[in-house]
Amino acid sequence: METTTYTRSKTTEFFYKMNFAIYIFGLPNFWIEDLKLSKRFVKIYDKISLFNDLLVYLLLVMEFGAFFTQHNLTDKQKFNLMVFAISHPLLCSFCVMVSKLKKKVRLVMYSQAVALKRDYNDPEVEKQMIARSLTYVLAFMSSCTITMIMFAIEAIWDVIRHGATFTTLITAYPDVQDRSILADVVRVLAFVTWWIFLTKMVAVYMLVIPLTISLRYQFKNLQSYFLSLAELFERSDLSQKEKEEKYEAGLKLGIKLHSETLSCAEDTQDVCRGVFSGQIIFNILLLIVLMAQMVTSERTFVNMFGTVATSCTVITSTGFFMWNAGDVTVEASYLPTAIYFSGWQHCQRDSSMRVRRLVVTCMSHAQQPVIFKGLGYIELSYQSFITIVKSSYSVFSVLY
């Protein structure tokens, strides 16, 4: 990929840094140009990433094999095996899906970071977008890290209190009671591979979360643009005719930007649809299993805290998707009001007639809701997030 010429901004700088981290975490480079890494490093690192992918796939096979080879599991270990058997294939599919859509992700990223910001970019809105994206990504990474650490602490606690083996993941080999050196080496390798898998999974969320947040703030940027048009009529250095001409040209540009933003929203939905749908399934199934585990497992502080930490990670990861997707709908719904207050009433005579037609058409188009959906029919919003979390408890209460 060759270097692309584009206007640099804080947004492009943010997306570049985010893509740099995503690449280091094991996914392809989705940015619109090469990362500032030597060709030798990229060549070697790509081979390392491929090797890590093979390790992750092997880990998944080993986890499914545990259902046939492990016959001495405690109740907690049985639930852990079920949790991983459900979650890991789904999370792995997220990595595969976004990697397959590399070209489309790159186009969406170019639209959000460059094309839609070329004509107008409110620096305050840009600052808010970057701050919110960083907050959500860092919060998710912290949540995942705490969960992983708690699984390690649980395993260490079992070693100290019950004299068990250090078992964080249940795999086909070794047996949970095997205390040989080879068995311990395999367990450590499995735990390290799990961390590698975690970084790839985190990279997916580092991609999807900023994309939805950036789209939300693009609608906010559009609101700022239309409201700024009213300032044309406050200028004393222009005649009324010049103000009307500039306003009419600005309104047409705003309509163009709105159309391009809607197109970008559709492309973003196409890129994220598989992850959104998988996350809903992931949330419902995992919460049911985790609630069952909480009811039946030994109620020690370590066990309970580990289960609660995992549940919180599942819920917040779903929330980060659904809240931000819902915010896109909310911000898009404010756009007609911004268009109405853009200053069209200051135009006179023939200009007034032309502008009113444009304003009515633009407002009518902006009133059509922008809705992200998961599984083809579930609207992603704050309300549907509560419904999905409650549905998990409803299913659990029926089963238990």
Q: What is the longest distance spanned by two Cα atoms in the chain? A: 91
Q: Among residues 143, 197, 147, which one has the least CA distance to residue 318? A: 143
The predicted structure's pLDDT at residue 1: 47
Lowest mean pLDDT among 89-98, 168-177, 385-394: 385-394
- Quick check: 307 and 294 in contact, CB under 8 A? yes
- pLDDT tens across 198-233, in order? 999 999 999 999 999 999 999 999 999 999 999 998
- Residue 252 to residue 219: CA distance in whole angstroms: 16
Give the rounded percent of residues in the chain with a pLDDT score beyond 90: 76
Question: Once rounded to an integer, what is the mean pLDDT over residues 15-28?
Answer: 96
> For residues 338-358, b (16+ Cβ closer than 10 Å) or e, as one string?
bbeebbbebbeeebeeebeeb
- pLDDT tens across 322-371, in order? 999 999 999 999 999 999 999 999 988 888 899 999 999 999 999 999 99
Give the rounded percent of residues in the chain with a pLDDT score beyond 70: 97
- Quick check: 42 and 216 in contact, CB under 8 A? no
- Residue 27 to residue 55: CA distance in whole angstroms: 15
- Quick check: 155 and 166 in contact, CB under 8 A? yes
- pLDDT tens across 159-192, in order? 998 888 999 999 999 999 999 999 999 999 999 9
The predicted structure's pLDDT at residue 399: 65
- Residue 400 to residue 388: CA distance in whole angstroms: 18
The predicted structure's pLDDT at residue 91: 94
| pLDDT exceeds 60 at position 2 | no
For residues 5 and 238, the model is more confident at 238
| pLDDT exceeds 90 at position 297 | no
- pLDDT tens across 242-294, in order? 999 999 999 999 999 999 999 999 999 999 999 999 999 999 999 888 888 88
Question: Once rounded to an integer, what is the mean pLDDT over residues 383-398?
Answer: 83
- Residue 219 to residue 331: CA distance in whole angstroms: 6
Q: Domains of the chain: which residue ranges? A: 10-399
- Residue 91 to residue 222: CA distance in whole angstroms: 34
- pLDDT tens across 114-168, in order? 999 999 999 999 999 999 999 999 999 999 999 899 889 888 988 998 888 999 9
| pLDDT exceeds 80 at position 3 | no
- Residue 255 to residue 265: CA distance in whole angstroms: 15
- Give how far Cα 28 sits from Cα of 25, 101, 200, Å: 9, 10, 10
